[in-house]
Amino acid sequence: MARELLSQDELAELAAELGDWDVSGAELRRTFRFGNFVEAFGFMTSAALVAEKMNHHPNWSNVYSTVEVALNTHDRGGVTELDAALARAMDGLAGGAS
């Protein structure tokens, strides 16, 4: 998977695709809200397995039913296709989370 920084045009396209993500700056950000702690933790467990397979790990935190996620490719100093792929995967895992 490409580890080159996405261009401004590519970031704009990504922002349109990933409507629930903040694509401004040097990272992708999203807050996931679940019905309870177990749902939030289950999401994090599933996302962790995907991230490990990708060898690309999120910056995130969890408080009860809320998971805050920030994605960037640290060694590139910004957003790459790896971040976009992990964001897409997380969206798929989140189901009906807001």
DSSP string computed for the chain: ---SBPPHHHHHHHHHHSTTSB--TTSEEEEEE-SSHHHHHHHHHHHHHHHHHHT---EEEEETTEEEEEE-BTTTTB-BHHHHHHHHHHHHHHTT--
pTM, whole model, 2 decimals?
A: 0.93
**pLDDT tens for the 98 residues of the chain, in order:** 667 999 999 999 999 999 999 998 799 999 999 999 999 999 999 999 999 999 999 999 999 999 999 999 988 889 999 999 999 999 999 986 77
Domains and CATH numbers, the chain: 8-94 (3.30.1360.20)
